[in-house]
Amino acid sequence: MNTFRAVAIFPHIPAENLEQFCLVAEQLIAKINEQEFTLRYDIFFNADKTRCTVLEEFTRPEGVFEHVKENSELIAQLSLLGGKIEGSVFPMSQDGEAIQEIRDNWDSKYHFHFLGKTQ
């Protein structure tokens, strides 16, 4: 399976932005629930809701490009409300043009798969 996992962190959500951040996140989830290329998209807050972490999984590496394209307006709003995204990516394979594009041009921490549970 060549799924693609990512973590996106919105590092600083001021208290005055929290309500709007949550509303935009709900809009984003509604769109994502209709998109086949997204397997998982879970949003977490820290205890005081000043930081948000999103765990993402896509059917294939290209899915993350589709996600960004289809949801760019809402993602931009979340970034304005919660700070510039701090990203990490976790591809299951190191092959393909999408992986090369991400590795060469994205401002994300890149991780190489080593071991895991077999299915």
More confident: 21 or 98: 21
Q: Please name each of the domains of the chain with its CATH number.
A: 7-110 (3.30.70.100)
Q: Which of 89, 85, 3, 27 is nearest to 52 (CA)?
A: 85
Paired sense of beta strands 86-91 and 4-10, if any = antiparallel
pLDDT per residue as tens digits for the range 46-85: 999 999 999 999 998 888 889 999 999 999 999 999 999 9
Q: Which residues pair with 56 in a beta bridge?
A: 6, 41
Residue 102 has pLDDT above 90, yes or no: no
Contacts of 41 (CB under 8 A, 6+ apart): 29, 32, 54, 55, 56, 57
* Entry pTM: 0.89
Query: By percentage, how much of the chain surpasses pLDDT 90?
Result: 64
